[in-house]
Every structure is written in C-alpha cells, then in structure tokens.
C-alpha cells in the first residue's frame, strides 16, 4: 500500500480532543520515536474506513478507603470465585487473599507522608471492545496493556468478566506508586491509554482503533452511565424519566431547532474533512493498483459517512418519522 499522505481535514478528524503531550504519567516507552507500519497514516485510515471497532478504556471510579476497596475487589472477583492477577502473574484466589490485598494497600496508603484524609486508595478501570471479541485475546491484551503502563510503578490486579456476550476486563490500580508518586490521569493520558490498548489488541489479530467520534462522523456524545441506568429504569417502569432526556423530548416535540455556534463548527469541520478526503481519493486514483484500491476505500468511506447529528436532532427526526407526512403532503 502506498504511503497515505494525511489530508489536513483527516488529521483534524483523527486528532484527539486533548493534547496527548499533556499525558504526564504515561511512560516514554508508549511514545516511540519512530512510527511502525501499523501506526502509519495509511494503515490507520484503512482501519477507520473499514469500520474497525473502537476500544473502550474507561475510569469507572475510585475507592476511598480499605473497606471500599475490599468491597470493590469482592465485586470484580465475584466474592473470590474469580482469581485476580497481579503484575508478575501472581494470582489471588478466594476472599481471604482479596481482603489481605485490600488491607495491604490501605496500610501503605496510611503511611504516605502528607496524605490527605480524602486521598483515594485505588483507581478502577474497565477495558472492553464491542461484542464478538475473543475473551482470551482481550484478556491477554489487557495483561500486556497493564504491564506497559503500571508494572514497575503502580501495583495492580485485573480480572476478565466473561459471563455474558460482552466480555470486559476490570483493572484496579493502587494510586500510590512504589516511588511515592500519585496516579492522577488526565484526559490526555486516557487517549494514550486507548491507543496503546488498541495497539496491543491488533498485535493479537484483533482489529481495533482509538479515534475520536468525529473521525467517524459522529457528533453525539455517548450516553453517560447514570443517564443510561435512569433511562432503563424509566423504560421498565421503575423510575422517572431523567430530566435531561425530558428536556430533549420536549424540544423535539416542539420542533425547536436552536442554532448553536458549536453545532455550526461541527458541520464546518465535517465539510472540511469530506473535501480533503475527496481530494485524496482523486490524487490516489492516478497511481498504481494499491493507490487505486485505497482511493476506492476513501470514496466508499466518504459516501457512507453519516452527517453529524446531535441528540436533539436525532429525536426530532425520529419524531417526524413516527408522525408520518404532513397533511399537506398527502
């Protein structure tokens, strides 16, 4: 495949929403000085265009003391039924081992010089992929990911949950490092972590990418966990409709379509990306067989790319579709 000269519009599309140079805690080994073929613009674009699944690296919470940590470890170990794995492959089996680890971490935290009373004990992370990923490859990728980031700096344990159709890994990291440094990840760190997890999955023949939503033409933010749970309770008749969704439904039913500056910026950026990709396709179409194949891939990607649509716009569209054509159109 010919080197894909990255178009400025596409660079803007795949650029993380935060500057990864601010990722102060990520080891230098995760920032190689020379890129590999797997990280080349051509390879990355091809993965995005072919719909490679996006990885999820999500911080789900922090534990505040030994009791809270013990309860969390009980949960992820299924009350000791699942073994927790540590940095050197050691395994903690049973509730006694799990509780011993919780006491050990909280005791070391208590000896931290200048410790704040509200300083958390551990960071809870979930690593996952969409349905269909092989659980063992997911687990091995998570093992390599944790080794890359934390092995020599922050103690951790992890465990695979594979009871349903959506396997995922729970990773719990002690926030007090071995050298006294505190784990305090920023958004930039999370982006670097996503990219590294995707890289480790690809090394195990699992297609994966770590691009922002705008790379795929998606304007809507993912539904937050609290809102999703409240919506599910409402749908099942066990709770009220979340206020944020109630306001969105009222706006959709009223047909209001407020023009917001940030929405115009999203649409302008989308047009810029589309024009740049079309220009790339035209340039590549005059090359060899591999260039022409890439040009066809770019063209299909642009044609299939969805128009940016906010949640309110989606609700308004669905409301119109359910209500059918206006009387004047019949």
Tell me the fold of 54-208. Answer: BirA Bifunctional Protein; domain 2 (3.30.930)
Where are the CATH 3.30.930.30 domain residues in the chain? 54-208
Question: Quick one: which of 87, 200, 61 has its CA closest to 150?
Answer: 87
Tell me how far apart the alpha carbons of residues 313 and 227 are, in angstroms, rounded to a whole number: 19
User: From CA 197, how far away is CA 214, in angstroms rounded?
Assistant: 20
Q: What is the pLDDT confidence band of residue 152, given thresholds at 50, 70 and 90?
A: confident
Of 183, 174, 182, which is closest to residue 105 (Cα–Cα)?
Answer: 174
| Local confidence band at 328 (pLDDT 50, 70, 90 cut-offs) | very low
Bridge-based pairing state of the strands 91-92 and 156-161:
unpaired
**Element holding 203 (H helix, E strand):** helix 187-203
Q: How confident is the model at residue 72 (pLDDT cuts 50, 70, 90)?
A: very high
User: How many residues are given for the chain?
Assistant: 330
pLDDT tens, position by position, 231-255: 677 777 787 877 766 666 666 566 5
Cβ atoms of 69 and 170 within 8 Å: the answer is no
pLDDT given at position 12 = 58
Residue pLDDT, tens place only, 97-110: 999 999 999 888 87
> Residue 40 burial (CB < 10 Å; 0-12/13-18/19+)?
middle
Confidence of residue 88 (pLDDT cuts 50, 70, 90): very high
CA distance 64 to 59: 15
Which residue would you say has higher pLDDT here, 184 or 36?
184
Q: Which helix (H) or strand (E) holds 318?
A: helix 311-323
Q: Which of 162, 155, 196 is nearest to 69 (CA)?
A: 155
Record the pTM: 0.77
Q: Is the pLDDT of residue 44 over 60?
A: yes
Q: Which residue pairs from 313-320 have beta carbons closer than 8 angstroms and sit at least 24 positions apart in sequence?
A: 313/257, 314/220, 315/248, 315/249, 315/251, 315/252, 316/251, 316/252, 316/255, 316/257, 318/252, 319/252, 319/253
What number is the average pLDDT over the span 114-121?
80
Predicted pLDDT at 264: 79
**Percentage of the residues of the chain whose pLDDT score is greater than 90:** 37
3-39: pLDDT as tens digits: 555 545 456 556 666 666 666 656 655 554 455 667 7
pLDDT of 317 > 60? The answer is yes
Residue 157 confidence class, pLDDT cut points 50, 70, 90: very high
Nearest to 75 by CA among 108, 131, 67, 89: 67
């Amino acid at each position: 495949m010919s080197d894909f000269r990255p178009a400025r519009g596409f660079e803007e599309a795949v650029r993380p929403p935060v500057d990864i140079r601010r990722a102060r805690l990520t080891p230098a080994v995760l920032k190689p000085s020379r890129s590999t073929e797997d990280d080349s613009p051509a390879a990355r674009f091809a993965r995005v265009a072919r719909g490679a699944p996006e990885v999820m690296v999500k911080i789900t919470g922090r534990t505040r003391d030994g009791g809270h940590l013990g309860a969390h470890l009980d949960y992820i170990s299924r009350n000791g039924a699942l073994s927790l794995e540590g940095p050197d492959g050691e395994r903690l089996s049973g509730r006694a081992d799990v509780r011993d680890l919780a006491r050990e971490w909280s005791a070391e935290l208590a000896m931290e010089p200048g410790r704040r009373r509200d300083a958390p004990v551990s960071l809870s992370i979930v690593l996952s992929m969409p349905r269909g990923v092989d659980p063992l490859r997911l687990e091995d990728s998570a093992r390599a990911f944790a080794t890359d980031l934390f092995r020599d700096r922050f103690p951790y344990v992890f465990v695979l949950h594979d009871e349903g159709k959506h396997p995922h890994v729970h990773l719990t990291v002690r926030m007090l490092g071995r050298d006294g440094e505190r784990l305090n990840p920023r958004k930039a760190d999370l982006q670097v972590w996503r990219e590294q997890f995707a890289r480790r999955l690809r090394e195990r023949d699992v297609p994966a990418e770590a691009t922002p939503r705008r790379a795929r033409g998606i304007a809507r933010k993912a539904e937050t966990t609290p809102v999703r749970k409240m919506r599910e309770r409402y749908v099942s008749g066990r709770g009220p409709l979340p206020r944020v969704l109630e306001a969105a439904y009222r706006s959709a039913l009223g047909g209001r379509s407020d023009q917001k500056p940030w929405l115009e910026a999203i649409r302008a950026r989308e047009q810029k990306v589309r024009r740049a990709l079309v220009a790339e396709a035209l340039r590549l179409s005059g090359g060899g067989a591999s260039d022409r194949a890439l040009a066809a891939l770019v063209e299909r990607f642009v044609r299939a790319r969805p128009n940016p649509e906010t949640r309110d716009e989606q609700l308004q569209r669905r409301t119109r579709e359910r209500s059918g054509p206006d009387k004047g159109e019949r």
